[in-house]
Amino acid sequence: MKKESFWSKPGTRSVLASLVAILIGMLAGGIVILIVGLTNPSLGIKGAWEGIRLVVAGLFATGRDATGALTFGFNPVTFGNMLFRAVPLIMTGLSVALGNKAGLFNIGAPGQYLAGTAASLYIALSVPTNVIPSWLVWLLALLCGMMAGAIWGAIPGMLKAFLNINEVLACIMTNWIAANLVTWFFEGSNLKNVLEGTKSGYIYKTATVMNDIVADGVASTVGANVPEGATIVATRGGIATSKLGLDRLFAGSQVNGGIVIAILLAIVIYVLLSRTTMGYQLKACGANRYAARYAGIQDRRNIVLTMALAGSLAGAGAALYWLSGNTEFFWSTYQSLPSEGFNGIPVALLAINNPIGVIFSATFMSMLSVCGQKLTELTAFNEYITDVIISVIVYLSAFMLVIKTWISRLHKGKAVNK
């Protein structure tokens, strides 16, 4: 029996297809930058070349020297921020990839992400840390975020399993229901910034210590005008994900232990899908639901379970992001669908739904985002040029099978010529 060569293996072709999509996407971005540079007198060919360099190696950009030339080197801030931004992308990418493995298109990750956000922030900012240790509140907030995402993911799963309603339609509806419910929930809560009283208000950072203040039977929050004679009755907040020493390696960045948790969860999902009976059943249902039922596999249970697990992963991504304590949750964010949920789709497609591949594809997408920021900071180009690159990659991801077939034929042609 002839041994299969490395280049003819399906896994190798899948990786090559992803790399081809990335290279074509980067090439398209470079062409756009070149066209913009040549048509803009203030940029010219020199500006275009700087833009291309920043798109490719913006992660290493450190600024400009005295002569105005771009400088490059290890930049701990950009590296750390890339890892921080990769966390929700890894989790939503895993959410979409898990659904795809079971034959379900989980476009409901944005709604599940919002559900996880609301639950985790409410627990973190409401439970008094002078009664329960901060680490336990953080753990409860994370678990509640995952549970809320699981519940919201199970809804379209049940509609699919028992009523045969297309999961895409069900997910789209639950997405917007989640956006409105979360808006109503936060508008009615006391977690908002009460200083501004306008649409620029926000939900506090989880790392910001908040105090309940009671005066004449009326509760308010520190940050507002404190009534005379008010007394502090409870301490809230101060809940943030541990840095695990990463802040020393990437000083000045937003990175924390969330990236470690995300990677561990990706490994857990990989083991679940490839090494367990449950994973085999999920993939069997994805290949042919009715054949799986004929073989004795409970397809309805597995559909609901898959969507619940997918929702919990998206909810975990939200919890890990907002429990970082790095940023406030602005009103404009929770009144719309979060981009992290939708960005999980190209992450999963680029990784060919492989949980380990999701780690790398999410980090790559996060890198493009950071490079886009550097493009705006150091040149006259707009950071949204990187969106062109992502769009081309997403478009090509839909043609992965065509690219893999092309690579296979190219390999066979070389083998025949030999």
Residue 139's pLDDT band, with cuts at 50, 70 and 90, is very high
Give the pLDDT band of residue 125 (cuts 50, 70, 90): confident
Distance of alpha carbon 301 from alpha carbon 409, whole angstroms: 41
Distance, CA of 379 to CA of 32 (rounded, Å): 15
- 3-class secondary structure, 224: strand
Number of H helices, E strands in the chain: 16, 7
**Average pLDDT of 375-391?**
78
Answer yes or no: is pLDDT of 390 > 80: no
Q: Calculate ∠ Cα 59-85-272, nearest 5°.
A: 120
Q: Is the pLDDT of residue 228 over 80?
A: no
Compute the half-sphere exposure of residue 154: CA atoms within 13 Å on the CB side of its CA: 12
pLDDT given for residue 224 in this prediction: 42
If you average pLDDT over each of 15-24, 113-122, 232-241, 384-393, which comes out highest?
Answer: 113-122
Give the single-character DSSP code of 2.
Answer: P
**CB distance 103 to 82 below 8 Å:** no
Give me the chain's average pLDDT, please.
Answer: 82
Q: What is the mean pLDDT of residues 213-234?
A: 42
CA 235 to each of CA 133, 138, 207, 224, 226: distance values in angstroms, whole numbers, following the listed order: 11, 15, 12, 16, 15
| Secondary structure letter of residue 307 according to DSSP | H
CA gyration radius for the chain? 24
Structure-block tokens of residue 237: 């907040």
Which of 127, 79, 82 lies closest to 323, judged by CA?
A: 127
Could you identify the residue written with the tokens 């597995």? 302
Contact 210, 146 (CB under 8 A): no
Placement of tokens 């092309």 in the chain: 406
Question: Among candidates 311, 290, 388, which has minimal Cα distance to 34?
Answer: 388
Q: How confident is the model at residue 5 (pLDDT cuts 50, 70, 90)?
A: low
% of the chain at pLDDT higher than 70: 82
- Going by C-alpha positions, the residue among 265, 389, 347 that lies closest to residue 100 is 347
- Residue 2 has a pLDDT of 54
For residue 352, CA distances in Å to 94, 346, 395 come to 11, 10, 14
CA distance 72 to 412: 42
pLDDT beyond 50 at 216: no
Residues 266 and 56: their CA atoms lie apart, in Å, by: 27
* 381 contacts 375 by C-beta, under 8 angstroms: yes
Q: Using 50, 70 and 90 to split pLDDT, how confident is the model at 379?
A: confident
CA–CA gap between residue 301 and residue 161 (Å, rounded): 8
Domain map (residue ranges) of the chain = 6-74+404-417, 82-194+241-361
Please give the model's pTM, rounded to 2 decimal places: 0.87
- Could you give the CA distance from residue 328 to residue 322 in angstroms, rounded to a whole number? 8
Position 361 scores a pLDDT of 92
State pLDDT tens for residues 236-290: 556 888 888 898 999 888 999 999 999 999 999 999 999 999 989 999 988 888 8
Residue among 183, 179, 155, 181 nearest 169 (CA): 155
- pLDDT tens digits for range 161-212: 999 999 999 999 999 999 999 888 888 777 776 554 455 567 777 876 555 4
Question: pLDDT tens digits, residue range 13-72?
Answer: 777 877 888 888 888 888 888 888 888 887 788 888 888 888 888 888 888 888 888 888
